[in-house]
A and B are shown apart, each in its own frame.
Chain A
Amino acid sequence: MSIATVALVSIGAHPASGRARRAEQDARAVELGLELAGDNLHVLHAGNPHEPALRAYLGMGLDELHVLEQPDGADVVPVLRDYIREAGVQLVLTGSQAETGEGSGMLPYLLAEQLGWPLLVGVAQIESIHSGVAQVLQALPRGQRRRLQVRLPFVITVDNAAPKARQSAYGPATRGLINADVVEVTVDELSTTGVLQPAKPRPKRLKVIKAKSAADRMKAATAKAAGGSGQVLKGVSAEEGAQAILKLLIEEGVVR
Chain B
Amino acid sequence: MSDIIRRDPRAEWIARNRLHPLHAAMQPHQLSWMGPNGVLRKNVHGVGFIGPNGIKRIDRSGVQQGGSSKRAASTQEQRVLHQVPAPAFYIGVVPDMVGGRLSSHDRDLLGLARQLAGSDGAVLAVVFGESKETAFATAGVDRLLLLDSEGYAPEQQVLELRAVDNQFAPRHWLLPDSRSGGAELGRRFAASLGERPATRVWQVKDGACVGRAGAGLQDVAQPLPRLILAAAECAEPVSETRHEALEVQLSTAIASCLPRIEDLGAVAVDPAAIPMAEAEFILSGGNGIKDWGLFHKAAVALGATEGASRVAVDDGFMARERQVGASGVWVTARVYVAVGISGAIQHLQGIGACDKVVAINLDPGCDMIKRADLSVIGDGTAVLEALIVAVDNWRNASSGGAGLLANQATRSA
Contacts and interface: CB of A to CB of B under 8 A. Distances in A.
Interface of A: 12-13, 15, 18, 98-106, 109-110, 112-113, 118-122, 135, 137-138, 140-151, 189-190, 193-200, 202, 205, 208, 210, 212-213, 216, 219, 224-236, 238-239, 241-246, 248-256
Nearest to A106: B187
Contacts of A241: 360, 376, 378, 383, 386
Nearest to B274: A143
Interface stretch (B39-47, B215-223, B308-316): B215-223
Contact of B214 (A99, A146, A212, A249): A99
B274 A147 contact: no
Contacts of B265: 146-147
A18 B202 CA distance: 22
Nearest to A200: B219
A233 B382 contact: no
A214 B237 CA distance: 24
B147 interface: no
B280 A104 contact: no
B239 A195 contact: no
B260 interface: yes
Contacts of B250: none
Top-4 shortest CB links A-B: A227-B370, A241-B376, A143-B274, A242-B386
Of A149, A150, A238, A250, the most chain B CB neighbours within 10 A belong to A238
A143 B377 contact: no
Contacts of A235: 377
A256 B303 contact: yes
A150 B262 contact: yes
Interface in B161-179: 179
B370 A225 contact: yes
B233 interface: yes
B275 A143 contact: yes
A106 B191 contact: yes
Interface in B350-398: 355-358, 360, 364, 367-379, 382-383, 385-387, 389-391, 394
Given A233-B377, A241-B386, A242-B387, A146 B370 contact: no
A212 B274 contact: no
B194 to A, nearest CB: 8
B74 interface: yes
B262 A103 contact: no
Contact of A106 (B132, B196, B360): B196
B359 to A, nearest CB: 8
Interface string B121-149: 00000000000100000000000000000
Contact of A242 (B74, B236, B389): B389
A253 to B, nearest CB: 7
A216 B74 contact: yes
A98 B74 CA distance: 52
A126 B217 CA distance: 32
A239 B132 CA distance: 27
Nearest to B265: A147
Contacts of A121: 184
Contact of A122 (B179, B190, B367, B373): B179
Contacts of A113: 191-192
Contacts of B369: 227, 230, 232
Contact of B335 (A144, A205, A254): A254
A26 to B, nearest CB: 12
Nearest to B132: A251
B370 A245 contact: no
A122 B260 CA distance: 17
Contact of B279 (A135, A142, A150): A142
B315 to A, nearest CB: 24
Given A122-B179, A228-B370, A254 B213 contact: no
Contact of A135 (B264, B278, B357): B264
Interface string B261-274: 11111110100011
A104 B383 CA distance: 50
A149 to B, nearest CB: 4
A233 B269 CA distance: 32
B408 to A, nearest CB: 23
A256 B214 CA distance: 39
B307 interface: no
Given A190-B196, A226-B371, 8 more contacts: A105-B187, A109-B188, A144-B266, A146-B267, A147-B265, A230-B375, A239-B386, A246-B387
B204 to A, nearest CB: 13
